[in-house]
Amino acid sequence: MKKKVYIIQPTYHLKDGKLSKELPLFNYSYNLPIISAVIPEEWKKETCLEYTEEVNFDTDASVIILTSPGYDIVRSLEIIEYFKWKEKIVLVGAHLDQFSDKILKNVCDAVFYGYPNPAKMKQFLDDVEAGTIKKEYHFGSNLNFPFDYSVLKKQKMPFLPVITSIGCRNECTYCCNPPFYNGHYYLRKIEYVISDLKEAAITKKPLAFLDANLYNNREYLIMLCRQIVYEKIDIIWGAQCTVNIGDDEEVLNLLYEAGCRMLFLVLETLNNKNLLQLNKPMNIDYYHRQVKGIHNAGIHIGAFFMLGLDEDDEFTFDNVYSFFQENKIEVPYVHIFFPTPGTATAEGLKSDGKILENYFDDHVFRQTKFSAPCSIAYFKSAGLSKAELEAGFVNLFTKITSLKNIIRRVLVPDIRIAALILKMNMEARKKAKSMRKNKLKPESNVISYIPSRLNKVENTTYIRNY
Ligand code: SF4
């Protein structure tokens, strides 16, 4: 057996069945650098980010490893089936465990849950050599090793993904994190994060921390920023975190000093009753003050809202628009409420009979229909009909992506940040156009790519803890 591994992150099918060859800004992943880093030295390796590269179906690797966020599942199946036909060993890990359990497990040799580290990957490859592969590998959450950024340096990416932690200290009931981590998070040792930052800094590209919540641990964040400043690592970066960071002037000033120029805030709603229903421990009465605090520190803001929660009504669309305008949000984003399948909120809506469309099948197989932003009302909302919600959403999305608004947002001092703000806004504008176009067509004309050989997946979901 040739000791060689081929690591692939698949792309997905577009409406016409062709493969997308564009990496959307919100689909960046650190999985390739992680998996490449844990392959033992005695094994050769080759990688493929299919968004930008072609899969080498003639590879001489004996082991294929696929790492697949949810929207790539259909494409993953095609790749797995091809390599199984060529009698390769195929290991697959999906972003959400129910995809691995229900969809991938039967077609590949083994599925993995969590993140591999060097010891666990060695164990798997030893099993391959010994012919004792297990059906499941539980890799856990230990990311204390430097990642292999050489696999991304060659890619045409406007920024590079980095990470300090996985999980989140909060337990919002619609989010994919709590079912995995139950309100816990795992911090990487600062020395490994610093090592990654130095490696990524060589590219001179902006960096994006893909943590669910960079503000999970204040003391850790302070230490990390001080180390970046102390080691004079020349980077600019953005991250997602909770809005309450806006009250923490000391941390905000340190973030700026360490190169932070943009924070993404998942605000979700302008109604405290909605927040309560989602178990989101924030308070909308402080949003203006907190957003102002972040701007005062010189940091730009991306803000996300969901529409179609129970307390939303016909005024919600205008209220959200005014919030974006009054607070000068540089990257505004909205989508229709769509709780992750398997979460407490999704299960509750299901048992209350509030599901209007088959959201699980769409989420898994019809990436072209269920796209980001979600523009379909899959769930009944107490204050809005399906038609009102979908029309109000498209109108709002169109308003926030008007050229006049976009031009105003890109007038920021740093040209690199201006370029990113422009790219994110223009990508949203493109989506607004395509949503308006699709609304004019009958549903049957919106082609969804589902290989006919796939059986319909049972409409029940669960998420495994590991
Ligand atoms: S704060 Fe954000 S990442 Fe954390 S549980 Fe809530 S939605 Fe998820």
Per-residue pLDDT of the chain (466 residues; tens, 9 = 90+): 899 999 999 988 776 778 888 776 666 788 899 999 999 999 999 999 998 899 999 999 999 999 876 666 778 888 998 999 999 999 988 666 666 666 777 889 999 988 999 999 999 999 999 999 999 999 988 999 999 999 988 888 888 999 999 999 999 999 988 888 889 999 999 999 999 999 999 999 999 999 999 999 999 999 999 999 999 999 999 999 999 999 999 999 999 999 999 999 999 999 999 999 999 999 999 999 999 999 999 999 999 999 999 999 999 999 999 999 999 999 999 999 988 877 899 889 989 989 877 776 666 665 555 566 788 888 899 999 999 999 999 999 999 999 999 999 999 988 989 999 999 999 999 988 888 876 644 343 334 444 444 444 443 333 332 2
Contact between residue 116 and residue 66 where contact means Cβ atoms under 8 Å apart: no
Q: Using CA atoms, how far apart are residues 376 and 372, in angstroms rounded to an integer?
A: 10
- ipTM value of the model? 0.99
Which mutation among 96, 163, 173, 175 tests ligand 1's pocket best, with the greatest number of atoms within 8 A of CB? 175
What's the rounded Cα separation, in Å, for the pair 263 and 29? 18
366 CA from centroid of ligand 1 (Å):
25
The H or E element containing residue 306 is strand 300-307
**212 CB within 6 A, ligand 1:** yes
Q: What's the full length of the chain, in residues?
A: 466
Residue 333, strand partner residues:
304
DSSP annotation of 21 reads: -
Give the count of alpha carbons within 13 A of 134, CB side only: 11
Kindly report the backbone phi and psi dihedral angles of residue 169, in degrees, each rounded to the nearest multiple of 5, phi listed first: -75, -15
Domains of the chain: 4-140 (3.40.50), 163-439 (3.80.30.20)
Q: Is residue 301 in contact with ligand 1, taking CB distance under 6 Å?
A: no
Residues whose CB is less than 8 angstroms from the CB of residue 70 and which lie 6 or more positions away in sequence, other chains included: 94, 95, 96, 99, 363, 364
| Residue 191 alpha carbon to ligand 1 centre in Å | 26
- CB of residue 213 inside a 6 A radius of ligand 1: yes
Q: Would you say the CB of residue 178 lies under 6 angstroms from ligand 1? A: yes
The answer to whether 51 and 23 have CB atoms below 8 angstroms apart is: yes
Label the pairing between strands 165-167 and 185-187: antiparallel
**Burial class of residue 191, CB neighbours in 10 A (0-12, 13-18, 19+):** exposed
Collapsing DSSP to helix, strand or coil, 176 comes out as coil
Could you tell me if 66 and 91 are in contact, meaning their C-beta atoms sit under 8 angstroms apart?
yes
Query: Which atom of ligand 1 lies at the shortest distance from residue 266's CA?
Result: 2
Q: Collect all residues with Cβ–Cβ distance below 8 Å to 402 and sequence separation of at least 6.
A: none
C-alpha 438 to ligand 1 mean position (Å): 31
DSSP result, 422-455: HHHHHHHHHHHHHHHHHHTS-GGGS-----TTSP
Residue 345 Cβ < 6 Å to ligand 1: no
| DSSP string for 214-279 | TTS-HHHHHHHHHHHHHTT----EEEEE-GGGGG-HHHHHHHHHTTEEEEEEEEE-S-HHHHHHTT
Q: Which atom of ligand 1 is nearest to the CA of 176?
A: 8
Residue 186: CB atoms within 10 Å: 16
Compute, in angstroms, the gap from residue 464 CA to the centroid of ligand 1.
18
Q: Is 339 in the pocket of ligand 1 (CB under 6 A)?
A: no
| pLDDT score recorded for residue 97 | 61
The amino acid at 93: G
**Kind and range of the H or E run holding 183:** none
pLDDT of residue 245: 98
Residue 194, φ and ψ in degrees, nearest 5: -60, -40
Question: Is the CB of 34 within 6 Å of ligand 1?
Answer: no
Ligand 1 atom closest to Cα of 213? 3
Roughly how many angstroms between the first and final C-alpha of the chain, as a whole number? 31
Atom of ligand 1 lying closest to residue 168 CA: 4
Which alpha helices (DSSP H) does 18-72 contain, by range?
A: 31-37
242 lines ligand 1 (CB under 6 A): yes
Distance from residue 281's CA to the centre of ligand 1 (Å): 9
Ligand 1 lined by 267 (C-beta under 6 Å): no
How far is the C-alpha of 107 from the C-alpha of 118, rounded, in Å? 25
C-alpha angle 76-77-78 in degrees, rounded to nearest 5: 90
Contact 432, 394 (CB under 8 A): yes
Is residue 392 a contact partner of residue 307, using CB atoms and an 8 Å limit?
yes
What's the pLDDT at 360? 67
Say which amino acid occupies 70: G
**Contact status, residue 169 vs residue 211, Cβ threshold 8 Å:** no
168 CA to middle of ligand 1, Å?
6
- Quote the CA–CA distance of 323 and 336 in Å, as a whole number: 17
∠ Cα 67 70 74 (to 5°): 85
For the Cβ of 165 lying below 6 angstroms from any atom of ligand 1, the answer is no
**3-state SS class at 310:** coil
For tokens 């029309």, name the residue. 391
Residue 207 contacts residue 162 (beta carbons within 8 Å): yes
pLDDT score recorded for residue 99:
63
pLDDT of residue 456: 40
Alpha-carbon radius of gyration of the chain: 22
Q: Which residue has the tokens 């204050």?
A: 383
Q: Is 177 in the pocket of ligand 1 (CB under 6 A)?
A: yes
Residue 441: the pLDDT is 47
Mutate to test the pocket of ligand 1, among 164, 169, 172 (most ligand atoms within 8 A of CB): 172
Closest atom of ligand 1 to CA, residue 242: 1
**For atom 1 of ligand 1, which residue has the closest CA?**
170
